[in-house]
Structure 1
Amino acid sequence: MSAPRQARSVARLAAVQALYQMEVSSAGAEAVIREFSEHRFDRDVEDMTLATADEEFFADLVRGVVKSQAVVDKQIAANLAQNWRLERIDATVRAILRAGVFELANRPDVPTEVVIDEYVDVTKSFFEGAEPGFVNGALDAVARDVRG
């Protein structure tokens, strides 16, 4: 994987972590972005340097999801199976879907397949069960709505 692509992958994973953190702690976007920038990116962990993140892309994702969360949540809800509500979904999956839907709707420079594959990979880093398939299906449905 190329360095710029890997930096975006790291940014997506960090954005999901930041969105989750904001939901469970009620922290604001700017505070969480600052925390990631100052304390998490480009740090050594157990004598290993973590991959570099595209910090500008990370901040764009976090701010974008927060700014357009009502629209993003409507797009997700419209594509959930009947009898499923967004509130019932695991908070981590909710963060993944929000970031993925925001990117699909607002970053036409990123190919649809890349967005979906990246967030399915993020999901696999947290879950081993049905969640990656669920995220794949939900993002694919939203992509058809927002990208045609």
Structure 2
Amino acid sequence: MTINSTATRDKSNCSARKKIPLAHRRKARQLILQALYQWLLAETKPRLITQQFREENEGNIDWDYFDEVFIEIPKIVDDLDEHLIPVLDRKPDALDPIEKALLYLGTFELAHRIDVPYKVVINECIELAKVFGATDSHKYINGVLDKMVVKLRPIELSAK
């Protein structure tokens, strides 16, 4: 699966068609970040991480979204890196693991989840960076994802 430069709408099994409260989606993104962090550091298989997270986290979480996003990112990490490298000021391997996980999440959503407005993608990643990242990582995430919007969502950007 490669990333198109103008992100096309994936009409197959989108959890976005269901009426899921935004707080449930926000919690799913937080867990996706934590799962990606674990995957990056421990190199645990995504299916095992998913199983662990489902056992440890109950409550109001958009699990469909978690599954759709978290399981796919490790499969296309090389494609995500290809899109990120031109807009980064360092190699992906030199990124802090939280920043790297957030950039993977943001880039994936910008490329493959066009049902989510680009401003929401950026805002959610910034808020997660403020909670989980280093002191100014939210500024870095914002700058990189702003550049990714130009690359992956030019039509949506020009419509604003």
Q: Which residue of 2 aligns with 1:26?
A: 43
- Which stretches of structure 1, 4 residues or longer, exceed 4 Å deviation after superposition? none
2:75 and 2:58 map into 1 onto residues whose CA distance is 23
Give 1:67 shift: 1.5
1:75 and 1:5 map into 2 onto residues whose CA distance is 28
Q: Which residue of 2 aligns with 1:130?
A: 136
Aligned residues: 136
The residue type paired with residue 34 of structure 1 is Q
Q: Which residue of 2 aligns with 1:45?
A: none
Q: Which residue of 2 aligns with 1:108?
A: 114
Matched, 1:11 2:28: yes
The residue type paired with residue 31 of structure 1 is L
Deviates more, 1:112-121 or 1:71-80: 71-80
1:102 and 1:3 map into 2 onto residues whose CA distance is 20
Q: Is the contact between residue 99 and residue 133 of structure 2 (CA under 8 Å) also seen in structure 1? A: no
2:58 and 2:76 map into 1 onto residues whose CA distance is 25
Matched, 1:76 2:76: no
Q: Does 1 or 2 have the higher relative contact order (CA < 8 Å, sep 6+)?
A: 2
TM-score by length of 2: 0.81
**1:42-81 equivalent positions in 2, closer than 5 A:** 42=59, 52-81=60-89
Q: Secondary structure at the match of 1:53?
A: coil
Cα RMSD, aligned residues only: 1.5
User: Identity of paired residues, percent?
Assistant: 29
Give 1:128 shift: 5.3
1:70 and 1:89 map into 2 onto residues whose CA distance is 15
Matched, 1:40 2:57: yes
Gaps of 5+ in 1: 43-51
